[in-house]
Structure formats: structure tokens, C-alpha cells
């Protein structure tokens, strides 16, 4: 057996003991179990678990199986081209992933999108958030052997994937925001469809509660499992619904509102318990809030028909033919100058709230046609640390429950 990293495991156990969980010292007879990387519910990652009996003594998340060097590839592509590249790390949450990158470029260019473009971005972000939470919910059902939740969640996710398709033309990788605007306007029949989807989902959430969240078998598997205290959550730097399930009211949409989130009314659900059940509830409550935002955004967009979806100076630069296409179809056809544009030298930081939590971009320009440095830290990358520090002390059967409640998404983590 490999020599285990000792110093950190000592700290872990000490920390866990202060939270009242009994952890046995690692005995000589320790089983090393590889969970993953082929999909046993773990996805494209591996957790090396060292077991003492059926108690997990140590867990080492071994990630990187789907690493695609996105930061390096961004440095050799013109400014716009990382947008379709980056969104591929979380195709189920594409708009939330790309909006902060575009925001960082806009900060460097001193450019702001018109309000209609911002509302369209927010609309797609919230559709993505609902779809992404439903995806996580479905996978969670598989983890716990609850196949109905899986079928329902994936079926209902289709409603929102279709909405996104009607809005952008693509089911998943929309490549929707561009610096200074968005690429397509809302079709005329969209508001009616969105309202029906919202109404449908509200009804379905009640049924979800009855079959899954209040199900005694599920409650037994989740309650008091994988507890992360408030201070430990802050110390580990985890993000998203996971930190809001531990009593910390942190959501970038609230803390540093980007786009038009400060004009919309919504609440940030927070649960104090910090266990797997609380994290699941946060996601369900967030779906409800996202549905509210979708309604408000659609109402606003209906009231402000005909406004530009591209910044004024970009629109003025378009040749006559492109303007005609824009007027007829609501589609922005980009010019070659967009691909070869230069961005003033400088550095900018932008953050946004993706489905799984905060996404962070650091973008540096040297004034050229390609980024000098793009640093992206995704929510799952920051949540991976949970496996190392929270999983030890639990029974092996609790691992799927913790994994599912964290809503970890390997391609997003590996970038």
C-alpha cells in the first residue's frame, strides 16, 4: 500500500472530532478501495478510499480524467473563441459558465450590454440553472437507488432544455452571450411557452416532494449525513447550494449583482443543518426562485419589444445586409472583425453564480488578439475538497449520498 499523506489526515480527524463524529484511528488492516473512474455513479473521477471495517478512514479524490487544458487553449485562440470552448466543461449549464467570461471582457473593453441583452442572458442563465439542478437531482436519484426520481427529473429537464433550444437554437452549448450583447432575440411564441413550463414545474415540484424529499427511506439516507458546519464550510471554501445548506448566505447574484439581478426580485434559500438533506432542499427551493425570475424576465422582455440586443456602437458598425438579417430574424451575424478584435491591455476579475456555485474568471490582456492569461475556477473544482475532508468517518454506504448531495460534475472540475 502507498504511504498515505499523514499530516493532513491528522488535521481532518481532529476537526471531525470537534464536530462530534467519532473517528477511529487507522488500523493496520486497511482496505484500499478504488471507486471509479468508470461510472459506478462517480462519473469520470476516482476516489481512493481507505476502509477500516466499513468506516472510511481516508479518502483521496483523484480527479483529472477529463482534463482538457482549457486555460492553455484559451491563450492560443482569439478572444471570442474561448466562449464555445469554455462552455463545454459544463454543457448543461452553458450560459452561466460563459456570462462571467464575457463580463470580464466587457470590463476590459469598458463596454456594457443593452438592458434587453442583459435580461436575455439572465433568462437563459435561470433556464440553465433549473435544468442543471434537475440533472443533479436525477443523478442523485440513481445514487440512492431511487429510479423514479431519475426518470422524472431527466424527463422534466427536457422541458427546460427545449426552452433553451427555442431561445438560442441549441439544446446545450448555446454560445449565447458575446461582448456587448447576445446572439439571438427571443422568438414571439417564447413567453407563452416559458409561462407554461413554469406552471408545469411548480406543480411537479410538489410531486417531487411527495415521492422523494419526504420519502422516509430517502430522509434516513440523507439526514445527518455529510454534515458541514458553517465555519468548516467557509474554511474549505466550498460554493453554491452546498455552502447555503450550511447556513452561509452567499450567492454572487446577491453579493455582487451582475447583469440585471439587482432589478429582479428573488430570495436566496439558506438552510442551517449542513447535511445532505439540507443541500438537496436548497436546490429544490432554488428551482422555485429561478422559476420566479424566468417569469419576471419574460414579462420585462415582452414590455420592451424592439430594443437592441447588441450595444449601439456594435450595431452601427454592421453593414446593411447584416442589419437586414437582424431586423428580419432577430439574429446577430458577427463580422470577421469580431474574431480578430484587440482588447486593451489590463487585467480583470469577474464572478458569477452558476448552477453548482460561484464561477471565477481572471482574464489578462496584453493588448493583442488573444488572451495573455485566462484563469477559470469552477464550482466543482472548489467542491472537490469535500471528498477529502468530509467523507472520512462515514460508512462506505454514505459516500454515494454525500457525492450526490454535493452535485459534483467531473468535466466542470477538470476543465
Partner 1 sequence: MVEALSLDNIINSIKLNLEGLVKSISISKGYIEVVVDASHIVEAALKLKSMGYDHVKSITAIDYPKESKIRVVYHASSYINEDLAKTIIGLTADIPRDNPVIDSLSQVWRSVEFQEREVYEFFGVIFREHPDLRPLLVIPELAEKKVLRKDFIVKEESIYEGIPHKY
Chain positions contacting partner 1, by CB under 8 A: 5, 7-8, 63-64, 67, 69, 71-73, 76, 104, 107-108, 230-231, 233-237, 243, 248-250, 255-256, 346-351, 358, 360, 362, 364, 372-373, 375, 377, 381-382, 384-385, 389, 414-415
CB of residue 281 vs partner 1: minimum separation in angstroms? 20
Q: Which of 345, 354, 360, 413 is nearest to 383 (CA)?
A: 413
Specify the residue, 156 or 259, whose C-beta has the smaller distance to partner 1. 259
Strands 181-182 and 357-365: unpaired
CB of residue 195 vs partner 1: minimum separation in angstroms? 34
Specify the residue, 73 or 396, whose C-beta has the smaller distance to partner 1. 73
CB of residue 69 vs partner 1: minimum separation in angstroms? 7
CB of residue 4 vs partner 1: minimum separation in angstroms? 10
Specify the residue, 202 or 373, whose C-beta has the smaller distance to partner 1. 373
Specify the residue, 124 or 350, whose C-beta has the smaller distance to partner 1. 350
Specify the residue, 233 or 332, whose C-beta has the smaller distance to partner 1. 233
CB of residue 144 vs partner 1: minimum separation in angstroms? 27
CB of residue 241 vs partner 1: minimum separation in angstroms? 14
CB of residue 23 vs partner 1: minimum separation in angstroms? 18
CB of residue 53 vs partner 1: minimum separation in angstroms? 25
Contact present, 230 and 344 (Cβ < 8 Å): no
Give 336's contacts (C-beta < 8 A, 6+ positions apart).
none
CB of residue 82 vs partner 1: minimum separation in angstroms? 13
Specify the residue, 277 or 384, whose C-beta has the smaller distance to partner 1. 384
Q: How many whole angstroms separate alpha carbon 371 and alpha carbon 73?
A: 10
- Buried b vs exposed e over 188-224: b needs ≥16 C-beta within 10 Å? eebbebbeebbeebeebbeebeeebbebeebeebbee
Specify the residue, 174 or 415, whose C-beta has the smaller distance to partner 1. 415
Q: How many whole angstroms separate alpha carbon 134 and alpha carbon 156?
A: 8
Specify the residue, 215 or 231, whose C-beta has the smaller distance to partner 1. 231
CB of residue 120 vs partner 1: minimum separation in angstroms? 23
Tell me how many degrees the CA angle 18-383-377 measures, rounded to the nearest 5: 135
Specify the residue, 296 or 380, whose C-beta has the smaller distance to partner 1. 380
Specify the residue, 8 or 188, whose C-beta has the smaller distance to partner 1. 8
Amino acid at each position: 500500500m502507498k504511504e498515505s499523506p499523514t499530516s493532513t489526515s491528522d488535521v481532518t480527524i481532529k476537526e471531525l472530532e470537534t464536530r462530534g463524529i467519532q473517528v477511529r484511528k487507522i488500523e493496520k488492516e486497511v482496505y484500499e478501495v478504488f471507486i471509479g473512474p468508470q461510472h459506478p455513479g462517480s462519473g469520470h473521477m476516482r476516489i481512493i478510499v481507505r476502509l477500516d471495517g466499513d468506516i472510511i478512514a481516508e479518502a483521496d479524490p483523484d480527479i483529472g480524467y477529463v482534463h482538457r487544458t482549457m486555460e492553455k487553449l484559451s491563450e492560443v485562440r482569439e478572444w471570442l473563441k474561448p466562449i464555445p470552448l469554455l462552455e463545454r466543461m459544463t454543457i448543461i449549464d452553458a450560459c452561466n459558465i460563459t456570462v462571467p467570461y464575457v463580463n470580464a471582457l466587457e470590463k476590459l473593453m469598458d463596454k456594457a450590454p443593452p438592458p434587453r441583452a442583459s435580461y436575455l442572458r439572465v433568462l437563459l442563465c435561470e433556464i440553465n440553472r433549473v435544468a442543471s439542478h434537475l440533472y443533479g437531482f436525477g443523478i442523485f436519484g440513481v445514487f440512492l437507488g431511487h429510479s423514479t426520481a431519475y426518470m422524472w427529473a431527466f424527463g422534466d429537464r427536457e422541458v427546460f432544455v427545449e426552452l433553451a433550444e427555442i431561445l438560442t437554437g441549441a439544446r446545450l452549448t448555446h454560445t449565447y452571450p458575446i461582448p456587448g450583447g447576445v446572439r439571438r432575440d427571443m422568438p414571439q411564441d417564447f413567453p407563452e411557452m416559458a409561462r407554461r413550463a413554469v406552471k408545469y414545474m411548480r406543480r411537479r415540484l410538489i410531486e417531487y416532494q411527495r415521492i422523494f424529499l419526504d420519502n422516509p427511506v430517502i430522509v434516513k439516507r440523507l439526514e445527518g449525513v455529510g454534515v458541514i458546519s458553517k465555519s468548516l464550510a467557509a474554511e474549505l471554501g466550498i460554493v453554491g447550494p452546498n455552502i447555503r445548506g450550511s447556513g452561509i448566505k452567499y450567492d454572487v447574484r446577491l453579493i455582487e449583482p451582475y447583469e440585471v439581478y439587482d432589478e429582479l426580485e428573488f430570495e436566496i434559500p439558506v438552510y442551517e443543518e449542513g447535511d445532505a438533506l439540507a443541500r438537496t432542499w436548497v436546490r429544490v427551493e432554488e428551482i422555485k426562485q429561478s422559476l420566479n425570475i424566468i417569469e419576471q424576465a419574460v414579462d420585462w422582455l415582452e414590455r420592451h419589444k424592439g430594443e437592441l440586443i447588441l450595444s449601439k456602437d456594435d450595431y452601427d458598425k454592421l453593414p446593411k445586409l447584416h442589419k437586414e438579417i437582424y431586423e428580419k430574424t432577430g439574429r446577430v451575424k458577427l463580422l470577421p472583425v469580431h474574431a480578430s478584435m484587440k482588447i486593451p491591455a489590463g487585467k480583470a476579475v469577474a464572478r458569477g453564480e452558476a448552477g453548482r456555485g460561484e464561477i471565477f474568471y481572471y482574464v489578462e490582456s496584453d493588448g493583442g488578439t488573444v488572451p495573455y492569461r485566462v484563469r477559470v475556477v469552477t464550482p466543482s473544482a472548489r467542491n472537490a475538497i469535500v471528498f477529502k475532508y468530509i467523507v472520512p468517518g462515514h460508512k462506505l454506504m454514505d459516500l454515494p449520498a454525500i457525492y450526490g448531495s454535493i452535485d459534483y460534475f467531473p468535466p466542470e472540475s477538470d476543465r
